[in-house]
Amino acid sequence: DGGITQSPKYLFRKEGQNVTLSCEQNLNHDAMYWYRQDPGQGLRLIYYSQIVNDFQKGDIAEGYSVSREKKESFPLTVTSAQKNPTAFYLCASSVGQGPLNQPQHFGDGTRLSIL
Amino acid sequence: RKEVEQDPGPFNVPEGATVAFNCTYSNSASQSFFWYRQDCRKEPKLLMSVYSSGNEDGRFTAQLNRASQYISLLIRDSKLSDSATYLCVVNRRTNFGNEKLTFGTGTRLTIIP
């Protein structure tokens, strides 16, 4: 089955620690995205990548880093500089090319909490 | 003003009733529109795209009004399983040619038996 896999489902971070969230897709999509969702708020874009070896900052990139070395993979690192990392993190992908009527499809998310 | 605005609800509606949500968007350059459904503590899932001529999928009907810059979702004969948060999503190209997808904060719907 094609889809987007995020791991782990739950993650705990200690103070001063960097943690990496995994996102893998086998949909052959060019574009991948990371969002953060806080209670009562909409999804906010952290980083996105429209092609391998290229990525762009979203609206709230500070304290996060990403890489896109392979088409299928777009890991997100939450660094110690991110002072309020507790949130629900969602990875998405889309076809990315062509007209703007291609929806994004989401993985089932990672819940990150501070210890 | 937020780029996409929705009434957060909650909407508490008896089973079998018809319910409608509206969503307004501020950027007239917006080109494509979607409704997503998000269950509690789960990821958003695409419910339907919204086309200019309006479109229907079973009990769900979506409408787009470009002149007034709003989209709507109508759910007929509501079921208990329709209880969820409904997210309005708007897509456009930025000045740099990139896609920018903006999510509303969602409208929470609870269907009451």
Q: For chain A of 115 residues, list the mean pLDDT of each consecutive stretch of 10.
A: 89 90 95 91 90 92 97 96 92 78 88 89
> If you count residue pairs, one on A and one on B, with CB atoms under 8 Å apart, how many are there?
52
Token pair for B6: 């929705």
State the virtual CA torsion across A39, A42, A45, A51 in degrees, nearest 10. Answer: 120
User: Which chain A residues have a beta carbon less than 8 Å from that of B93?
Assistant: 100
Do A88 and B41 lie within an 8 Å CB cutoff?
A: yes
Chain B residues with CB within 8 Å of chain A CB: 4, 8, 31-32, 34, 41-46, 49, 87, 89, 91-93, 98-99, 101-106
Specify which residues B57 forms β-bridges with: B60
The two structure tokens encoding residue A97: 């090319």
pLDDT tens per residue across span B39-57? 998 999 999 999 888 899 9
Average pLDDT, chain B: 92
State residue B81's pLDDT score: 97
Residue A27, CA distances (Å) to A24, A38, B59, B86 in order: 9, 27, 29, 25
Q: Tokens 């739950």 — which residue?
A: A10
pLDDT of residue A97: 64
Tokens linked to A98: 């062509």
The per-residue pLDDT for B100 is 81
- DSSP helix/strand/coil, A39: coil
**DSSP calls for B65-112:** ETTTTEEEEEE-S--GGG-EEEEEEEEEE-TTS-EEEEE---EEEEEE
Cα–Cα separations (whole angstroms), residue A2 to A25, A69, A105, A106, A107: 8, 20, 11, 12, 11
